[in-house]
Structure 1
Amino acid sequence: MTSENPWTLYWQSGNLYSCIASQDAKDQTYIDEFWAEFAKGMAQGAQLLDLASGNGAVPVALLAANTSLSISAVDLADIAPERLAEKFDTLGEVQFFPETDICDLPFDDARFDGVTSQFGLEYAPQSLALREAARVLKPGAPMRLLLHHNESGIVRPAETVIAEIEALTRPDGLIEHLKRFVREQGELRDLEAAGRDYLDDPAGKSKHISGQIMAGISRVIDDRQSFPERALALASGMEQRLVAESVRLSQLRSAALDEASASLLQMAAIEAGFGSVSIDEQFVGDQDPALVGWALHALRL
Structure 2
Amino acid sequence: MSKQAWDNYWASGMHSCFPKNEITDTELKQVWNNSIKQLALKDHAQLLELGCGNGFLTEIIIASLTSIRHILNMMDYSQVQLDKVLASAQYETRVFQNTTIEQMPFNDASMDLVLANFSFEYADPDKAIQQVSRVLSKGGQFLFNIHAKNSFVSAISTNVCSGLQLMFKNKYLFANINEIIRLKQQLTDISHKTEIIAISRSVIDELKSMDIASNGGIGNSGVIEDILPIINTSNSMVSFSRLEHIWESYKLYQMRIQQQLEVGYDSDSIKILVKAFNQSAIDVSVKPIYIDGKLFSYMLQGVKRSN
> Shared fold by TM > 0.5?
yes
Q: Does 1:28 align with 2:28?
A: yes
Answer yes or no: is 1:279 the counterpart of 2:286. Answer: yes
Greater Cα shift, 127-136 or 209-218: 209-218
* Other-structure match for 2:82: 81
Greater helix content? 2
Shift in Å at residue 174 of structure 1? 2.7
State which drifts further: 92-101 or 120-129.
92-101
Q: Please list the CA deviations of residues 51-97 of structure 1 after superposition, one character each: whole Å capped at 9, or x if unmatched.
A: 11111222211111112332111111122223x449x7339953221
Is 2:165 the partner of 1:161? no
Runs of 5+ unmatched residues, structure 2 = 186-194
The 1:92/1:253 distance shift into structure 2, 3 A limit, reads: farther
* Residue 265 of structure 2 is aligned to residue 257 of structure 1: yes
Q: In the alignment, which residue of structure 2 is the partner of 1:297?
A: 301
1:113 aligns with 2:112: yes
Pick the aligned partner of 2:275 from 260, 267, 272. 267
Q: What displacement does 1:24 show?
A: 2.0
- Seen in structure 2, the aligned counterparts of structure 1 residues 179 and 43 have a Cα distance that, compared at 3 Å, is farther
> Which residue of structure 2 lines up, in the alignment, with residue 213 of structure 1?
227
Unaligned runs of 5+ in 1: 225-230
Aligned pairs for 1:208-247 (under 5 A) are 208-218=222-232, 222-224=236-238, 231-247=239-255
For this pair of structures, how many residues does the alignment match? 286
Q: Taking structure 1 as reference, are residues 85 and 146 closer, same or farther at Cα in structure 2, changes over 3 Å only? A: closer
| Distance in 2 separating the partners of 1:190 and 1:197 | 11
Tell me the SS of whatever aligns to 2:59.
helix
Task: Give distance in 2, aligned partners of 1:256 and 1:219.
Answer: 43
Q: Quick check: 1:199 aligned with 2:199?
A: no
Q: What TM-score, normalized by structure 1, do the two folds share?
A: 0.84
The question of whether the paired residues in 1 share the 8 Å contact of 2:62 and 2:88 is answered with no
Query: After superposition, where does 1:13-92 map in structure 2 within 5 Å?
Result: 13-19=12-18, 24=23, 26-38=26-38, 41-67=40-66, 68-82=69-83, 84-85=84-85, 89-90=88-89
Q: CA deviation at 1:7?
A: 1.2
Q: Is the 1:75–1:98 contact (alpha carbons within 8 Å) kept by the matching residues of 2? A: yes
- Give the distance between the partners of 1:177 and 1:4, measured in 2 at CA: 32
Query: Superposition RMSD on alpha carbons, in Å?
Result: 2.9
- Amino acid paired to 1:27: E
Cα offset, 1:200, TM superposition = 4.7
Superposed CA offset, 1:167-217 (max 9, x none): 2222415345323543569x7344541232213553324253322332354
Q: Partners of 1:50 and 1:96 in 2: how far apart? A: 10
Describe the superposition over 1:29-48 as per-residue Cα deviations: whole angstroms up to 9, x where unpaired: 3233244325x532222111
- SS of equivalent residue, structure 1 residue 90: coil
CA distance in 2, matches of 1:257, 1:283: 15
| Contact kept in structure 1, 2:72 and 2:94, CA below 8 Å | yes
SS in 1 for 2:103: coil
- Give 1:239 shift: 0.4
Structure 1 counterpart SS, 2:89: helix
Structure 1 runs of 4+ off > 6 angstroms?
A: none
Contact 2:151 2:295 survives alignment (8 Å): yes
CA distance 1:23–1:59, shift in 2 (3 Å): closer
Shift, 1:162, TM fit:
1.2
% identity of equivalent residues: 20
Instruction: Classify the secondary structure of the residue corresponding to 1:44.
Output: coil
Q: Separation in 2 of the partners of 1:279 and 1:35?
A: 12
Partner secondary structure for residue 100 of structure 2: coil
Q: Which amino acid aligns with 1:258?
A: D
1:20, CA displacement in angstroms?
7.9
Contact 1:21–1:27 at 8 Å: present in 2 too? Answer: no
* 1:232-284 residue CA offsets vs partner (Å, 9 max, x unmatched): 2210111011111111111011110111111111111112231x212231224
CA contact (8 A) 1:103 1:125 kept: yes
Alignment-mate amino acid for residue 287 of structure 2: D
SS at the partner of 2:148?
coil
